[in-house]
Structure 1
Amino acid sequence: MIQSQNQYAIAYSRVIHLSHVIDTAIPQWPGDPPIEFTTVATLAQDGYYLRRFSLGEHSATHINAPNSFHCSGVGIDRYSAQSLIVPAIVIDIREAAAVYPDYALTIADVLVWEEKYGKIFPGHVVLLNTGWQDKWLDKNAFFNRDAQGIMHFPGFGSDATRFLLHERQIAGLGIDTHGVDPGQDDSFTTNCLVLEQPRIVLENLTNLHQLPPQGTTLIIGILRLRDGSGSPAAVLALVP
């Protein structure tokens, strides 16, 4: 049991990793720098083992910062500690995404969820379980490019994003694909809408199928990179 930013007790029975393991073979967004590990010291020669690693700020499971899409936006180092412990709900669109990989969450989807589980309270992160985490080990399937190189994977529709931001005052979004925007949207509309304020955008999550529709608390670990456009993230889910 822990105390949240609002000083109420959070009870949980399980803790689940929502971050993928980082290695050199994971899917990388076109143009992102490669992931590299270099051995600096070994037990045999130095008495301890140490590596240097290099990766982009938006590689692996990561969080985006406002300055990645807005020139006046803050960097990831400006996120407060309390903003990184947040309640979350999960909307499951796996069935729709399996049939139509370009599926974008709609306002109707949100309202159907609320009919089952109740109105989404302000301050929650909305996680979208698309089933795409199952494609993580297959780069071609994960990005699902067509002959023209256009990516096809599901995400949040812009109307649903505006509804969640303005009518439900959510704290942010998260998804198991490489973008909260559907793969075809090269304008990054959803990212831009959410990051107009220092809200949360989490991408490349995993294990969302292990979370209940409501009641989960997220603990989001970041690297406090000065003026960072984002950061690889260690995301833990506290499940009731």
Structure 2
Amino acid sequence: MRTIALVAGGLVMAGLGAGIVLAVSPKQLKQPTLAEAYQTIKSKQFVDLTHAFEPGIPHWKGFPDEKRETLYWYEPNVGKLGAGFWAEMFCHAGQWGTHVDPPAHFIKGLRTVDKLDLKEMILPLVVIDVHQKVAQNPDYTITMEDIKAWEAKHGLIPEGAFVAMRTDWSKRWPNAAAMQNKDSNGVAHYPGWSMEVLKYLYETRKITASGHEPTDTDPGIATSKDDYSLETYILKQNRYQIELLTNLDKVPEAGAVVVVSFPKPKNGSGFPARVFAILP
């Protein structure tokens, strides 16, 4: 009979009765190959955190609606080159649907979409769930009490994480009026972040990125006054954010990995993104 144990930073295997003792340094422990890691990853559940976009979806008030044109269809068209395939032209703002906001979106001279590093696109996912508080108060902004409650339950928010705020606001999609939730005076009422929390996350916990379900980082009562100070703060840190996430109710608060992908327009100010979580 053999016993195996970790002792003083190494692996010790003792063969009882045979007098065999083998010490192995942690550096000698076999790391999984990429193929083995892939087999583990593909066995997990994947959750899409992205809305499909189309003309008419909720968007920032200053942007025009999306336009699409069919350039080629499967059947031949007189006067057009080619036949037998379908091709469309899409015309929309970079900040369209679930999208990435790079630092240069607000801060001249900082990184554009194409300058975001590949290692910033696969991150530990932290979900701060405040949806019940938002149900009671649509103007709710996340507090340090919410963050401390998460850390008391799961440990410190890891450096380099992607922190998403779950509000369940995405359940109003694609109803633009419901997303804006304006009162009789035209003031929007939807949840947002708070400066205290963002400073803690980006400066103390040193997270890589953050995301949310509403159209804006700042709450509706602020954006109704064209106050985007919270989004400005994030992008000024030379970090990116994702807006209009969905399905955060289908992922755990801790333990998942998020993959954030998007096209690479040269010197791009933003672009629709495809975001998904891999569950533990």
- TM-score, structure 2 normalization: 0.80
SS of alignment partner, residue 47 of structure 2: strand
Q: Tell me if structure 2 keeps the 8 A contact 1:79–1:198.
A: no
Aligned twin of 1:145: 182
CA deviations 1:68-114 (Å, max 9, x no partner) are: 11112221111111111111110111111111111100111100111
- Alignment-derived partner of residue 190 in structure 1: 230
Select which of 93, 108, 126 maps to 1:56. Answer: 93
Larger RCO (CA within 8 A; separation ≥ 6): 1
Name the residue aligned to 1:35: 66
Cα shift readout 1:115-136 (whole Å, capped 9, x = no counterpart): 1111111100110110101101
2:212 counterpart residue number? 175
Q: 2:125 aligns with which of 88, 97, 102?
A: 88
Q: Does 1:212 align with 2:242?
A: no
Give the match's secondary structure for 1:44.
Answer: coil
* Cα distance change, pair 122–54 in 1 and its aligned pair in 2 (3 A): same
CA distance in 2, matches of 1:227, 1:32: 20
Q: Which residue number corresponds to residue 50 of structure 2?
A: 19
Residue 147 (structure 2) pairs with residue 110 (structure 1):
yes
Secondary structure of 1:159 counterpart: helix
Shift of 1:200: 2.4
CA drift at 1:143: 0.8
Following the alignment from structure 1 to structure 2, what is the Cα–Cα distance between the partners of residues 181 and 173?
A: 13
Letter in 2 for 1:220: V
- Corresponding position of 1:235: 275
Question: Separation in 2 of the partners of 1:85 and 1:198?
Answer: 17
Cα pair 2:56 2:65 within 8 Å, conserved: no
Code of the aligned partner of 2:215: H
Alpha-carbon distance, 1:231 to partner: 1.1
1:212-232 Cα deviation digits (max 9, x unpaired):
011111111112112211111
Q: Which amino acid aligns with 1:226?
A: K
SS across alignment from 1:146:
coil
Q: Secondary structure of the residue that 1:98 maps to in structure 2?
A: helix
Between 1:99-108 and 1:9-18, the stretch displaced more is 9-18
Q: Which secondary structure state, in structure 2, belongs to the residue aligned with residue 195 of structure 1?
A: helix
Partner of 1:126: 163
Q: Identity percentage over the alignment?
A: 29
The answer for the alignment partner of 1:203 in structure 2 is: 243
2:264 maps to 224
2-structure distance, mates of 1:147, 1:157 = 25
Find the aligned partners of 2:219 and 2:62 in 1 and give their Cα distance.
18
In the alignment of these two chains, the number of paired residues is 236
Deviation of 1:2 after TM superposition, in Å, equals 9.2
From the superposition, tell whether residues 124 and 97 of structure 1 become closer, same or farther in structure 2 (CA, over 3 Å): same
Once superposed, what is the RMSD of the aligned Cα atoms? Answer: 1.8
| 8 Å CA contact retained: 1:61, 1:232 | yes
Matched-pair contact (CA < 8 Å) for 2:258–2:277: yes
8 Å contact from structure 2 (residues 167, 213) kept in 1: yes
Which structure 1 residue ranges, 4+ long, deviate > 6 Å from structure 2? none
Q: Distance in 1 between matches of 2:276 and 2:105?
A: 24
Cα 1:205–1:153, aligned 2, differ >3 Å: closer, same or farther? same
* Secondary structure of the structure 2 residue equivalent to 1:19: coil
Distance in 1, matches of 2:110 and 2:216, equals: 19
C-alpha contact (below 8 Å) 1:73/1:197 kept by paired residues: no
| CA displacement, residues 175-201 of structure 1 (integer Å, 9 cap, x when unaligned) | 111112212223222211211233220
Q: How far apart, in 1, do the equivalents of 2:107 and 2:33 lie?
A: 35
